[in-house]
């Protein structure tokens, strides 16, 4: 079941978030640390922020995955004004992947974005994460820009 998060979902969210953080730390050790990616104080602040949406997938009292998103209005003298739903984090427990949980989370945030009259959904995905890249492409996401780095 996909639903809005409750404060007592913190430990379940942390478990999925930790798996994602560890994956990033293993693949990009020059950037990411092996740390708890969120503490309760930060989770509570996000939970109480009306501009942040936290969704969870729960099955038999287990948080299987989560999605954190924000709505932002962007634009400049060079770009059109747009209202976007920005997916900040999405993670599904490794043991629960390939069971459509991520798809259900994306579908729910799409419904919210449509209700809020957003122009689109955007997210970042790391190049090493072929599974995530393939997943998002399968759902219809398209690459818009690629950030490149030259290490010195």
Q: DSSP assignment, residue 95?
A: G
pLDDT, position 4: 98
pLDDT, position 73: 96
Place of tokens 């009259």: 117
CATH code for the domain of 96:
3.40.630.30
Average of per-residue pLDDT values in the chain: 97
Average pLDDT over residues 47-58: 97
Average pLDDT over residues 21-35: 97
Domain span at 58: 2-138
- State how many domains the chain has: 1
Cβ within 8 Å of residue 118, ≥6 positions away: 71, 83, 84, 85
> Which tens digits make up the pLDDT trace of 55-88?
999 999 999 999 999 999 999 999 999 999 999 9
> Which tens digits make up the pLDDT trace of 98-109?
999 999 999 999
pLDDT, position 77: 95
Position 123 in a domain: yes
pLDDT, position 101: 98
- Helix, strand, coil distribution of the chain in percent, nearest 5: 40, 25, 35
Q: At 76, phi and psi to the nearest 5?
A: -155, -175
Cβ within 8 Å of residue 35, ≥6 positions away: 21
pLDDT, position 36: 95
Average pLDDT over residues 4-28: 98
């Amino acid at each position: 079941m996909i639903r809005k998060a409750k404060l007592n979902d913190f430990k379940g969210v942390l478990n999925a978030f930790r798996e994602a953080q560890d994956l990033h730390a293993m693949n990009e050790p020059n950037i990411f640390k092996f740390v708890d990616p969120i503490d309760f104080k930060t989770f509570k602040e996000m939970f109480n922020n009306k501009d942040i949406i936290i969704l969870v997938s729960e099955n038999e009292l287990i948080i299987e995955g989560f999605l954190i998103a924000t709505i932002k209005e962007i634009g400049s003298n060079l770009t059109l004004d747009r209202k976007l739903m920005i997916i900040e984090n999405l993670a599904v427990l490794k043991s629960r992947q390939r069971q459509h949980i991520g798809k259900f989370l994306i579908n729910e945030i799409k419904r919210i974005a449509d209700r809020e009259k957003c122009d689109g959904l955007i997210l970042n995905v790391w190049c090493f994460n072929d599974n995530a890249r393939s997943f998002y492409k399968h759902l219809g996401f398209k690459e818009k820009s690629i950030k490149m780095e030259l290490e010195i």
